[in-house]
Structure 1
Amino acid sequence: MTSPRDINSGTLNVIFMSVCFLFLFSADGTLQNMLKIIISSIHDDNKDFQVDGFNVLALIYLSFGLSLWLGPSAVNIIGLRTSMTVASLFFTLNNISLVFEKEWLLYGAAVIGGVGAGLLWTAEGKYLVLSSEPNLVSQNIGIFWTFYSSSSFLGNIFTYYKLQGKEYIEQESRTLIICFLSTLSALATILFAFLRPIKKNTTQINQLKQINPCKELKKTWRVFTTKEMLVLSIVFLYTGLQQAFNSGIYSPCIGFTLQFVNRAKELVPLSGILVGVGQILGGCWQMLQVHLSKLSCSRRIIITSGIMAHLLSFGLVYINIPSSAVFGNTSDEAIVKSNIYLALFCSLLLGFGDGCLNTQNFSIIAEIFPEESAQSCALYKFIKAVFVAVGFSVSSYLNLHCQLKSLALMAISALISFIYIDINVVKSHNKMNKT
């Protein structure tokens, strides 16, 4: 029987790891939000500098998606604490590479950062599960996501104050911001190195040792070819595209809108903060599912509210931000006079929809594939990461209004697909209960 001391020890592990993630993603999330703006300002100083910020982000996520397939094997070989420490170091190297303003270094560091993300998220899930007693898994997941969701504040707040009143981000400001964010991720690396070892759970560890990589790949393929997973792939595809838009495309569009005059650049981190607030609110909306657990449509209510928030935000962005803003600084006028408060409200809506999507995706996966949770979650992360990369890649070529139209169509398709699968899940459960 587990003693209170053991439970507290496991929860303490999760809290310590969550603090590490808080510092790491305070840096990484802020930099991703600012990357297009920072790289554009480097180009303003050096016309020979030909790096595109969206292509760098696409490379990071493509590398991340591919590394997810090798992540479990690597983590098993080098261990959980070492995996997260090395991954955090890779994040730090990726961040600090911006200081040197070298094209080859930025692209090389992007690949390293993506590999680090694959290692990090694989090790995080395993560490959290092994640190949690079965009756405390939900509690510990809640603790982790609370810290993780709060990571959008620290780095963005510092950047916001640093950019106040600036129409242009000069090298001194760029360097200071990058060094501050790199310091946060370096601190996370040091903290990861001091992660507490897990109290050995013989049963869980034996189960993990018995995993055969080849059998797991075959099992993953079987899960992918099920009708439910193929239909849900449309939802996961949209989740990736919208994540690219709200995490690294929309905020720079605000910063490139010169109709906001000398406030444009400072609005970028402020937008990132409000996206984070929206994500927290979307995660809190998950609590509604507990109160509506007796209703078969609880998931549909939450996912519909998230998609509706996205569709509203797409419409408002369409009329409030000029179509050319996705490519760089523009003095073009939007359909209506560009409004700062409307732009920031859209950031909040985008974050809220993202929070709804992510919580309900995990919810429906857990219900449909209870025996294949590892495989289904891996497929979800892989599909999402690949289409985050696609979202960033096309942003170098498609204007903002074309992107918004495409996102709106995909949002409607994702909503229909999710509702279709959710109705079938409820029907199958009702049949099982009757029998």
Structure 2
Amino acid sequence: MGDCCVGNVYLLGVGFMLIFTAFTTCGNIEQTVIRSLANTSFSGSGYDSLAIIYGVFSASNLIAPCVVAVVGPKLSMVLSGVVYSGYVISFSKPMTWSLYIASILIGFAAAVLWTAQGTFLIMNSDPTTINRNTGTFWALLQCGMLFGNLYVYLDWRDMTVISDNNRWTLFIVLSVISLAGTAILLTLKNTRNGDTTHEIIEPLLPPRTLFKEKVSSTLNQITTEFRSMLRLIHTKNMLLLSVTIGYSGLMLTFYSGVYGTCIGATREFGIVAKGLIGLSGIFTGIGEILGGAIFGLLCFNNQFRRTSAVLLGVISHLLGFYMIFLTVPDDAPIASTNNSHYKPYLTPSPAIVLVSSFLLGLGDSCFNTQLYSIIGILYPEESGPAFGSFKFIQSISAAVAFGYSNYLVLSLQLLILTIFCFFGTISFFIVEKIEDNALDLQDF
């Protein structure tokens, strides 16, 4: 792997950083923004929007590998980035119908985007660089949690109500940032035939025959990719990893949508609550970046085992869950803004919020970087179907979590996360042990 591949990994990370600066910030404040709308005709829900996104995302992962195989990873990511920008800009003037249509479109685009990203990352990696490239990409991606949330903190920290002008300015800026990230993806260079389709057809054939050959070749690709994905989902390793992947989806819902809403609904924070949402997102991003940077370096050439990274993630998450349980009102996920009626066990503190946010980000980075790494090792020749399966499972669990977030109090949501954290860790350790045994047999 040469300089071209290294450059591609950095460009990929920066492009995704900008796109998800916009989308992650949007998701973090979405429900809070909707609750502040003066337009009484608007009847949408941020939780429902995100549930639709991840529901469509999960279903679309069944065909996303086929789309990526036909269109190519680079073009797939560029087109998906345009859809992401459209979703963000729809919040500049929220309407119920546009919110839900945009949610459906971005759900499909997300499946294509992440399948293409996983495929492209594997194309630019080998067994000796996969950990480094995964950590590098993840650290760059999560830098996106800093900038948008910093803007939210600085602009909203003294607000009790978000005005139409404040909302419009924020989402226009975010949409421009998202488009800039999409433009960067256009500069990616093709490697290992990463952005080509099967066009090895006799150039002197008649146009009608040439068209039939291309259609037949495309259909064969779609069929092959779809069958590969269905087969991978039923393999022993993927079935075990599905528990860990499912937990990562539940966690994605909690830190990207639910926790920020809880902070905004905690009346003890008073006028600083809105700004604290942004500051919380920044500290979550710092945890994500730190985890990606550390494991990108320490896991390089097996200097740090994947199981050790996951164990650190477990400790971080369980400690974060406990602190949140003690200091956030139990009805905060479902209460109106600053209108929680439950008293937390301990007095809510901005310092505890920020520490908890950091732990959530660090733990999430531990799980996701190691999932990317082990899937890249297990399925190097079937990266498209493998990452399609990964995102299919993850998005189903995220959709379910956003669905129940409208109704379950905080303690029940934290209990669900804790249970999945335990069993997901055990499943990951089993797969890692199977992989170690397989390598030992090869060496023998």
CA shift digits 1:347-393 (9 cap, x unpaired): 10101110010122223334444554443322111100111111111
* 1:26 and 2:21 are equivalent in the alignment: yes
Distance in 2 between residues matched to 1:73 and 1:198, nearest whole Å: 19
* 1:360 and 2:370 are equivalent in the alignment: yes
Distance in 2 between residues matched to 1:227 and 1:361, nearest whole Å: 15
Counterpart position of 1:244: 253
Distance in 1 between residues matched to 2:192 and 2:443, nearest whole Å: 38
Counterpart position of 1:342: 352
The alignment covers a number of residue pairs equal to 423
* 1:67 and 2:55 are equivalent in the alignment: no
Counterpart position of 1:420: 430
Distance in 2 between residues matched to 1:127 and 1:89, nearest whole Å: 18
Query: Which ranges of structure 1 fall in alignment gaps of 5 or more residues?
Result: none
Counterpart position of 2:291: 282
Distance 1:201 1:187, change over 3 A: closer
Counterpart position of 2:209: none
Q: Which runs of structure 2 are paired with 1:177-256 in the superposition (5 Å)?
A: 177-192=170-185, 194-195=186-187, 198=190, 201=193, 212-256=221-265
Distance in 1 between residues matched to 2:198 and 2:19, nearest whole Å: 31
Distance in 1 between residues matched to 2:40 and 2:191, nearest whole Å: 55
Distance in 1 between residues matched to 2:298 and 2:189, nearest whole Å: 36
Q: Which runs of structure 2 are paired with 1:284-303 in the superposition (5 Å)?
A: 284-286=293-295, 287-290=297-300, 293=303, 298-303=305-310
Q: CA offset at residue 148 of structure 1?
A: 1.4
Q: CA offset at residue 421 of structure 1?
A: 2.9
Counterpart position of 2:77: 84
* 1:397 and 2:407 are equivalent in the alignment: yes
- SS of equivalent residue, structure 1 residue 235: helix
Which of 409, 415, 439 does residue 429 from structure 1 map onto? 439
Higher relative contact order (CA 8 A, sep 6+): 2
Asked if the contact 2:114–2:391 (Cα under 8 Å) also holds between the matched residues in 1, the reply is: no
Which of 89, 112, 116 does residue 123 from structure 1 map onto? 116
Amino acid corresponding to residue 190 of structure 2 in structure 1: I
Amino acid corresponding to residue 227 of structure 1 in structure 2: K
Q: CA offset at residue 127 of structure 1?
A: 4.3
Counterpart position of 2:99: 106
Please give the TM-score of this superposition, normalised by the length of structure 2.
0.86
Distance 1:426 1:389, change over 3 A: same
Query: Which ranges of structure 2 fall in alignment gaps of 5 or more residues?
Result: 201-216
Amino acid corresponding to residue 253 of structure 1 in structure 2: C
**Range 133-142 or range 260-269, more displaced:** 133-142
Which of 301, 310, 313 does residue 317 from structure 2 map onto? 310
Distance 1:302 1:9, change over 3 A: closer
Asked if the contact 1:285–1:302 (Cα under 8 Å) also holds between the matched residues in 2, the reply is: no
**Range 250-259 or range 110-119, more displaced:** 110-119
Distance in 1 between residues matched to 2:63 and 2:300, nearest whole Å: 36
Asked if the contact 1:256–1:265 (Cα under 8 Å) also holds between the matched residues in 2, the reply is: no
Q: CA offset at residue 324 of structure 1?
A: 1.0
CA shift digits 1:231-259 (9 cap, x unpaired): 22111111110111011111221111111
